[in-house]
Chains A and B, each alone.
Chain A
Amino acid sequence: MASFKSTKIPIYPKLGEKVTPDTLYWKNYKAPVQIKEFGAVTSIDFSSLAPHNYAVTASTRIHIYGPFSTEPVKTFTRFKDTAYSGKFRSDGQLLVAGCEDSMVRLFDVSGKVALRVFKGHTKGVHVTDFTSDCYHILTGSDDYTCRLWDIPNSTELTSYKEHTDYIRCGITSKLNRDIFITGSYDHTLRVFDARVEKSVMTMDHSQPVESVLLYPSEGLLVSAGGRYVKVWDLLKGGQPLVSLKNHHKTVTCLSLSSNGQRLLSASLDRHVKIYNTTNYKVVHNFDYAASILSLALAPDDESIVVGMTNGVLSIKHRKSPEEKREMAGKQRMQPVYRIFVKGRNYVPKKDDFLVSKPVKSHLAKYDKQLKKFNISKALDTALESWRRNRKPEITVAVMKELDRRGTLKNALAGRDEQNLSQLLNFLIGNVVDPRFTPVLVTATEMILDIYQAVVGQSSVVDRQLVRLQELVEREVDYQQDLLEVLGMLDTLFATVFCKCTHLYVYLNLCIQTGHKATIHFFGTPSNCLSLLMFL
């Protein structure tokens, strides 16, 4: 004697993005904290010292924030003009910043007044950095020069005037105290060695360079400029490795995630893209409200800080493991009773022979009715409002089952006005859904057959019938348009068939499975001509 087999509810594939470990990782951040600064946030730098404060350069100030504070723990305001590029020294004690007034100021993190002021540039200084030995400072300026300064003497050590446009980015090597790299609006990246008079390597980015970044191993260099992010192999004499074009506006800032596995790029198009550094595919994407100028990640990716042109600083903190657990715990149902748990916690002893109780299988409500051949009641339970609204696939599956049993017509018949309008509402909501169309079209036909005698007796039902008719007509028009598009594409693909077989098949599938995916792909059918041009 076999047991009753419950109605199969088909599982439909979820459309949209696939859940990868990357999306899980990068989605595991809390809602952003937003802080309004006085002007566009041009630079963010994390201190490598334990609490990992970060310096935010915006307008004429540099604010230093603690990891979880929304108020600055420290502010440097001694700038006469817009400040740029506030950077911590690797020991976290000193901070250097350039300024539009061409002076470079060095601050003690605990003090207020500048310890040193380096004068010598003739135009605004956009790039400042400490060398790895902590005694020198690199600066790059709009006067096309980059210079090295000695901190104890506050004297200029060397000056290189090789760039032919503004120097807007630069980075010092963390492994070698003499090597640094600058990028300029003259489209070039230059590698300098302080022991040599001239640059040792030049790379052409072919766009004004906005940001440079060295990998921890310092074998690879990443530069951003224009819409491109390019990766260069320094060990092969600056050979270009990859060129990425994933943004549709200028890329302004680059950053590496703490383990060096992911590269982040921020752009004026308001997106932050995350690349896998092994295959340089985009694995995740963040959207922001305004164009992004600066981006920094806290050590261990504890927080993502983004500065935007409208002066908003957005900070996202990682969810701590406890919070995660808490969230999961909330979802778990607690037992609501405390009685009748006798023996539940009993742990069998070593020699005990376990006899497991047969697990009683519970049938869903509609299955219980189907088992008893109560077809109308089964349909009623499947049409319960929460089930109808949240899980239409169950309602449709029950209808399909009834249809298979040849009793759908009986189940649909004999309903009053309220019941019928409920049913029609469901049909109006779902009949054009490509997953449900085949079943619901039969049901609709049956309803029209059964109730055609009473049409005109209820205004509610009549209105719904008219709506249904309009819906179906619109859908038919839609499908016709889509077929036309397919015809157009056919002629196109006929010429380049072998190359595009896969795309063709994909489009074919779109048409078959319903218009939703196709619409997403094209916009509207009238847009398809532009697509044709594009192809």
Chain B
Amino acid sequence: KLDPLPLCLPHVKIKVPQKFLLCASGESVKVYSSSSEECVHDLQGHTDLVSGIVRNPSNHLQVYSCSADGTVRLWDFTDGILIKVQPHSLPRSFAIAASFFALCTVLVKLFQLVAVHLPLSGDQEVEARELSAVLCDVSPSGAASFGRKVRVVGLPGTSVANKFFLKSGNKKGAKNAFTCVSCHPKEDCIATGHEDGKIRLWRNFNQKKEYTYSTLHWHHGAVNTLQFTPEGTNLLSGGIESVLVQWHYTQENQKDFLPRLGGAITHIAVSPDGSLFCTSHSDNKITIIQSCVKVSAIIQGLVKGEGVRTDLTIDPRSKALVLNGKPGHLQFYSLHRDKLLYNLDIVQQEYIHEEGLDQFEVVKAAFDTRGNWLATVEERTQKGSELEINLKLWAYDEQTQSFMLNTTVTAPHEDQITAMCFSPSPETTMLVTISFDGHFKAWLLADHSDTKAEGACWSCDFVGGYHHLKPGCCCFSADGSLLAVGFQEVVTVWSPSWELLTTLSQPPGAIRDLCFGRLSCSKYLLGTSTKNQLCCWNLLTCSLEWSTPVDVSLLQADPLSENMAAFCSQSGCSDLFVFKPGEPRPLYSQKALCTGKVQRAVFAPRDQMLESCEEHAQWLNRSQLYFFTQHMDLMTFSTKTEEDRLLASSKRLMVDDSVAVTPFYLLLGKHRQQQEALTNPMAERIQLPQGSIAIKELLYTPAHVLPSASFLCSMFVRSLLISSSSAR
């Protein structure tokens, strides 16, 4: 069965016990090793987003997690074992805090802060009998923290807050709503972060109405997170500026900064001994910092921005998925290893972490067929002034194994560039850009070898248009001999010498997508229009071959086969059809793939061809289809066999890692391995020559066509021998 398999996109909350780093990622809690940055365990069990995790104060090898599914679970994170499940009667808990005596969660439905007492029983599933509401009227987006004296500090929304300092919060005006809270581990002090960028330190709040507070102000945006170090000497804060600020508790004017960490800081965690800090960022990244001076490790997931504006593309060299990453960057994400390879800085400008600024955004990216050239378009819309567009061309550098900026074209077009593609023909290196200003431009790599100073650079070769219509899409045929440009309702076909060969049109409706057929179907040109039409033109006869009334939102051609994938949106759901342009019946179709429109899709070529058996999965043999749903989840199709393999590999990994590397293990483990090797030498021997061709030939050839046994004998014996090279 083919199942859409979501790739993990961690949404992060973190806790650092010395050696391990725990992070809530979607529906699971991930355990990373803080030294090797590898994911050690994946604690799965929750059925909804995990909203908070906290160490068990009575046992430092255990951790509580709470989730929006209404349960609180207790885990042993070193072994990855679920110890307890405690279903809530009240769903949607949002934050969690723990003390020796009580576990607290903030519940959203009822706006209550609830203390939960977990009885110490051996059962895995425990119903909490004591649910005591500590505070009412707590608004969502809360946080919770325990003070030294088991005073619960619940947190606080926009208008109402906890009982101690509700009034002062209101007096200051609208902008100082609480955003986060942290309790000093030793002293009678609570730090709160506010939306206006101030941090307030509250002291002496035990006696009613006699508390005092002092204000620290550095952040210009809201303070996202606050954390005291375990000894209470320092206070760490972070916000949108992406600067980790370390305040000295005793000297409040002194502070240290660690700037330019990446995206906005969402959480800070400190290891119990205070040597490691850990920040999680809005761009799906965890940074591990050694005592506030040095970044020692970065755990980076697929950067999920608010919108991926580039098309999904595949880098032909590394076979990595390329899309928008950090602001102004392109990320190269290896799909096979599910790991971010690197971020390529496209804009090359200092990113100012401030809300409401118009920043440059990478909006288009395209590779040529061999991966030697990368073209990117970045644009910046400014209020009241014109659009700034830069077209950049990057050459692949063998030495640094990365892309180097070759040419920058400022203002290549007068309006937004809507599409861009490289010519696949091997002779010329040509790029075509299409813009709303009514023109398409061809850019050629010009070799100025006579001028010594500069190497090859790109220049404009041709500017074309068609009756001042706005072009919307373009496509090269597989051999690069034809260029199709869709000008609203008209498709124009151009030769490489820039002659207008023919025009095709199928009104009504503007052309949305264009695709040339590949291989045996290369005589077909497919187009989709806004008025629910999928058309197929025959380029030999220049006439319409067939057309169907489907609302195709996205059309994608597989570069390695004739197949085409069309995503159709119908009544809030997306359907997928895979078909060949020459055949009237689709190869594969799946209704109601996901809710909402499919935004982007791409065929990623496989490393080696699958020898799949099932007929309906044969279109996945050469390449895999990845797509982005409306909620920016990256999904893919996988075959049954692949799923099995994935499952198996994850199981093996778990077994391997569950054994902690202790001195005892080192002694005993080695000993046992040796023993194992001694006890079954037989197994090793048997494995050897089974897959040999000679044996296969001997066994599977019909007897009546086999040569004489004397002839076969020597061959058979030779195949059983271990060759000298393999023995070595």
Contact = CB atoms under 8 A, between A and B. Distances in A.
Interface string A298-337: 0000000000000000000000000000000000000000
Contacts of B660: none
B654 interface: no
B410 interface: yes
A19 B354 contact: no
Contacts of B359: 404
Given A1-B259, A19-B451, A19-B453, A370 B385 contact: no
B348 A406 contact: no
Interface in B303-323: none
Interface in B86-136: none
A110 interface: no
What's the interface size class on A, roughly? Answer: 20 to 34
Given A1-B258, A18-B451, A438 B386 contact: yes
A199 to B, nearest CB: 43
Contact of A442 (B349, B385, B450): B385
B350 A370 contact: yes
B357 interface: yes
B695 interface: no
Interface stretch (A2-10, A32-40, A54-62, A208-216): A2-10
B501 to A, nearest CB: 15
B451 A8 contact: no
A406 B354 contact: yes
B451 A20 contact: yes
A5 B451 contact: no
A341 interface: no
Contacts of B451: 18-20
Contacts of B386: 438
Contacts of A505: 463
Nearest to A370: B350
B450 A2 contact: no
Contact of A406 (B357, B380, B452): B357
Interface string B248-270: 00000000001111100000000
B260 A1 contact: yes
Interface string B336-362: 000000000100111010101111000
A3 B260 contact: yes
A161 B634 CA distance: 94
A100 to B, nearest CB: 48
A8 B453 CA distance: 21
A405 interface: yes
A21 interface: yes
A5 B357 contact: no
A401 B349 CA distance: 9
A512 B450 CA distance: 29
Contacts of A404: 349, 352, 357-359, 380
A159 to B, nearest CB: 51
B295 interface: yes
Interface in A1-51: 1-8, 10, 18-21
Contacts of B380: 404
A405 B359 CA distance: 9
Contacts of B258: 1
A20 B260 contact: no
Contacts of B259: 1
Nearest to B328: A5
A5 B453 CA distance: 26
Contacts of A21: 450, 452
Nearest to B289: A1
Given A1-B295, A438-B386, A8 B349 contact: yes
B452 to A, nearest CB: 7
A399 to B, nearest CB: 13
A8 B260 contact: no
A4 B350 contact: yes
A1 B358 CA distance: 23
A401 B453 CA distance: 29
Contacts of B356: 406
Given A10-B410, A404-B349, A438-B386, A1 B261 contact: yes
Nearest to B352: A405
A1 B293 CA distance: 10
A505 B440 CA distance: 13
Chain B CB count within 10 A is highest, among A1, A370, A401, A406, for: A1
B465 to A, nearest CB: 10
A8 B385 contact: no
A5 B350 contact: yes
Contacts of A6: 350
Nearest to A12: B410
Contacts of B261: 1
Contacts of A2: 260, 262
A442 B451 CA distance: 37
Nearest to A371: B350
A122 B352 CA distance: 91
A2 B348 CA distance: 12
Interface in B214-266: 258-262
The 10 closest A-B pairs by CB, nearest first: A5-B350, A2-B260, A1-B295, A505-B463, A405-B352, A20-B450, A406-B357, A1-B260, A19-B451, A18-B451
Given A21-B450, A404-B358, A406-B356, 15 more contacts: A1-B258, A1-B260, A1-B261, A4-B260, A5-B349, A7-B349, A8-B348, A10-B410, A371-B350, A404-B359, A404-B380, A405-B352, A442-B385, A505-B463, A512-B414
30 contacts: A1-B258, A1-B259, A1-B261, A2-B260, A4-B350, A5-B345, A5-B348, A5-B349, A5-B350, A6-B350, A7-B349, A7-B350, A8-B348, A10-B408, A10-B410, A18-B451, A19-B451, A20-B451, A370-B350, A371-B350, A404-B358, A404-B359, A404-B380, A405-B354, A405-B357, A406-B357, A438-B386, A442-B385, A505-B463, A512-B414
